[in-house]
Homo-oligomer: A and B are copies of this chain.
């Protein structure tokens, strides 16, 4: 992946930078790629650029490899990965590049928030809803129903910043205190600035090959054991329970089944913490903790690097940053490098890892399970 943060480069250059790193790292620079899946939400809105996958293919001279852009809002990265996997697993492709990127700082923060809000349902959008206001309502609801203290939710930010401080590619490489989170500017009551992921530029990329070819490129290949997606209603107010993401539950169940694994097998996870509480909700819907009990796991330190199940060792969306189309791919980069033992100061012990990338407010989710071979 590239360094995340405010970048001068445009989205195609960011894609190229991450992709060249992936090709170099996997020793596939001289290979013939036959598929390129690019994850990106809003190159048209952010930069007035479309067809960016064709730009990437040309920059890397990968013609005549076929490519496309995949847009599944904030779940674009996981979705591109799933299609890349399908292309290789089906025998259609022998070598696939999956790359995700977003260039967001080309517009104001207000405009970026507005562009992101275009993923909400038309009727809810007209009422002025944004993902931030959904987050505030969900947090209020979760706290009241499950008796979760505000501190427990804020501690997700403290944990993720502590991890991000050890990640040279993270946008924010500094720890924050609980007090800093709880006194940061109010955004959507009860959530404050430090509960939310930032606006970020960046890209990440992966190379996929059939399992039996992997050993000719590396002795640290990582196997894709399961990958599945599912959707929930686009209209959030039609859901029965704001604190449950059905798309995540279903995608998780399918991915576990495909991989022959259960939640207790997972030893490291990257979850889509677009705001602090979302990490807790995902950790419940993926079966790591009981419903309404994920906040206790945070209080007890179970999801810290030294805990039973380290979550978001990369810093997560919160601290690594959230360049929308890049995020799902960056999650898989972190899981891959954790399984390869290449994460330096933030390394944990893990043979099996999981990434959960979410589109919109749980409109859609992709869950991927990787393991050491």
Contact = CB atoms under 8 A, between A and B. Distances in A.
Interface of A: 10, 12, 41-42, 44-45, 48-51, 53-55, 57-59, 62-73, 76, 79, 83, 86-87, 89-92, 115, 118-122, 228-235, 238, 246-247, 250-251, 359-360, 363-364, 366
Nearest to A93: B86
- The 10 lowest CB-CB distance pairs between A and B, nearest first, are A90-B90, A58-B234, A66-B229, A51-B119, A64-B230, A69-B71, A54-B363, A68-B72, A54-B234, A51-B73
Contacts of A366: 66
Nearest to A232: B63
Given A64-B250, A86-B90, A231-B67, A72 B53 contact: yes
A10 B122 contact: yes
Nearest to A75: B68
A247 B66 CA distance: 9
B231 A54 contact: yes
Given A71-B71, A86-B92, A231 B48 contact: no
A118 B48 contact: yes
**A59, A63, A86 — which one has the most chain B CB atoms within 10 A of its CB?**
A63
Contacts of A122: 10, 12, 49, 55
B44 A360 contact: no
A101 to B, nearest CB: 14
Nearest to A61: B233
B73 A71 contact: no
A230 B121 contact: no
Contact of A364 (B54, B72, B87): B54
A236 to B, nearest CB: 10
A340 to B, nearest CB: 27
A49 B87 CA distance: 28
A45 B46 CA distance: 10
B234 A121 contact: no
30 contacts: A45-B45, A45-B50, A48-B118, A49-B118, A51-B73, A51-B120, A51-B359, A53-B72, A54-B119, A54-B231, A54-B234, A54-B360, A54-B363, A55-B122, A57-B234, A58-B231, A58-B238, A63-B231, A63-B232, A63-B233, A64-B250, A65-B231, A66-B228, A68-B79, A70-B71, A71-B71, A86-B86, A86-B92, A89-B90, A90-B91
Contacts of A359: 51, 54
Nearest to A13: B122
A55 B234 contact: yes
**A68, A83, A119 — which one has the most chain B CB atoms within 10 A of its CB?**
A68
Contacts of A50: 41-42, 45, 71, 73, 115, 118-119
Nearest to A62: B231
Contacts of A64: 230-232, 246-247, 250
Contacts of A41: 50
Given A51-B234, A86-B87, 5 more contacts: A10-B122, A45-B45, A50-B118, A66-B251, A68-B364
